[in-house]
Structure 1
């Protein structure tokens, strides 16, 4: 089980990606989950537009928009609730693929034991970004220290091997988590400050983002109502 205080010391950008489950296990979103959230956002746009048009038009004229709103908003709701996570279980020493739909239809399937898990850190350019590959899932960070912090956290809690090919490219070298090793493989010309760094892997489906995205819905709904009843 992951210690909460230990988790809270991680950089903010790392905590956007790495989450702690109700069971106390660390989890990472899969590629399919990220894709689902993107499609959910895309479907939300015509859904909101259809709701506004259905309210603004007369009952008979707005029937098509009502059907369209139900269709697109329903798809968006389903996709937003779809979870597909890599879950690291310290009790069984295995990584699982956990899936659910709005906390229903929960299912877990074992991917690999920690001893057989492959985890690699690579640089996608001379100055980054830096890609972490775990169980065929990729997580990309602009800043090396963020990628290193995520790997150090997972390795310290779950004891699976980590390799990197930055210091002796293209050869894979075991990555040890101490200050000396960090200094050896961090690029010398990396001068970005903590305040300027940004994560390539952005969680756009968190609670605050959903609230911000819903604000236009309420605004245009009120606007459509005012137009319909002749106030504007």
Structure 2
């Protein structure tokens, strides 16, 4: 991928100027070399939350790889004339990572979602990827840091379960802020090489949530499709116009980071 800069900072959060292929190449190298990486997948809502929360912004900036999941990030970077070449979605990256795991014979652990969701996601993925090794699953409904009860015996048992499973890839789906904080806090205790916070991906893999039709994805209108399906999301979706308004009126909202 030919590009003049590796990353940008959007409202202070570092985001890779990357492609799905480059992202997967980076993750494959990390897996082969057993070099631990945290990967986060911010959308507009997450970047705005990080702008208002220095501690959360620091967590995102400590990750090795932060991909531009939200179409709003692409639009804002273009408005500010520091374009990001590609949108790289967390869901597509997660699916490609599972395909890579099957090809390389690497195992994965699904953590998060309601009771039964991670197991259902594992069952569905093994139907489509029969050679995929699922090292283990666990729901997100346990007392832990993600609900303000860090260090509980139950949480310690979950960490021990993940490590004992031998998983090399860990999906963490607790929801925005919670999953990133959990990974950042416990990564030194976790054995998997790839730690990815990917929100509702497990619900999607389990078939509980349908992705927008491809035409909506290509046009960057997945948010509109979700809003039509779930009108209660209107409050969250109002973040996007506010974000793009900032891109129009706030000089330096997007800055190039060359190193």
- TM-score over 0.5 (shorter chain): no
**Structure number with bigger Rg:** 1
Q: Compute the TM-score of the two structures, normalised by the length of structure 2.
A: 0.23
| Higher normalized contact order (CA 8 Å, seq sep 6+, divided by chain length) | 2
Q: Compute the TM-score of the two structures, normalised by the length of structure 1.
A: 0.25
